[in-house]
Amino acid sequence: MFIGQREILTCKKLEKKTPAGGEMVVVEYVDGERAEMPLMKYDLLISEDRCTETEAKNKLYEKSAQTIYAQLMEFGLSFEELDSVITRMVKQVNDSLATATNYLWGINSEHERDLIKLNEVLKRYAEEKGIDGASSERGGTDKVDSK
Per residue in 57-101, pLDDT (tens digit) is 999 999 999 999 999 999 999 999 999 999 999 999 999 988 888
Instruction: Compute the mean pLDDT over every residue in the chain, rounded to the nearest whole number.
Output: 87
Q: Give the start-to-end residue ranges of the domains of the chain.
A: 1-76, 78-141
Q: Who has greater pLDDT, 138 or 92?
A: 92
* Angle, alpha carbons 40-43-48 (nearest 5°): 165
pTM of the model: 0.69
Write down the pLDDT at residue 144: 47
- Residue 79 CA to residue 3 CA, distance in Å, equals 36
